[in-house]
Amino acid sequence: MIYLYIALGVIVVWFIWTYNRLVVLRNRKNEALSDIDVQAKRRYDLIPNLIETVKGYVKQEKTVLENVTKARTAAMSAGGDQLQKANQENILSSTLKTLFAVSENYPDLKSNANFLELQRELSDTENKMQAARRFYNSTVNDLNNKIQSFPVNTVAGMFGFKEEKFFELENAAEREPIQVKF
């Protein structure tokens, strides 16, 4: 009889440990999404300053500035889940790359201290956002592996843990480098 209690105790401990591990992974995934949001907010705050700095130098590049502004607005107001919002973030990244490519034709702008600092800040933000996306994907991978593995999948199913989607580019064209032609 004592062996039955020991066996039940081991099963209960395993059950609790498995549930707690799933909760930790779900919370890490949520933390990673929050990190992406923080970096996106930082980028949204920097873009208006960058546009104001560039406006004085590149009056004939009005379309590029409008595209950046529209992409920023679309990204900030994107609804739906985090992965749908990511598509708008990727479009914003592309328009910023176009803006920086256009700036190459303006030596005075390239040497402007404000522009250089804003460009550095945005580049740093993009790097941090990429790191946050990689962390998110890594955490989602760990969570999905646990949810799909036996016998953990039985505990996951009992408590409604679902597989999560990876952060990835939805449009194949976004994988291509930006082409700027004058």
Residue 6 lies in a domain: yes
Question: Which segments of the chain does DSSP mark as H helices, in order?
Answer: 2-55, 62-76, 82-103, 107-110, 113-148, 152-158
Residue 172 lies in a domain: no
What SS3 state is found at 72?
A: helix
Residue 156 lies in a domain: yes
Residue 94 lies in a domain: yes
* pLDDT confidence of residue 129: 84
> Which domain covers residue 75, as residue numbers?
2-166
Residue 106 lies in a domain: yes
The angle at the Cα of 61, spanning 129 to 89, to the nearest 5 degrees, equals 20
Q: Is the pLDDT of residue 100 over 60?
A: yes
Residue 180 lies in a domain: no
Residue 23 lies in a domain: yes
Count: domains in the chain:
1
CATH number, domain of 33, equals 1.20.1440.20
Please indicate, yes or no, whether the overall pTM of this predicted structure exceeds 0.85: no
* pLDDT confidence of residue 109: 66
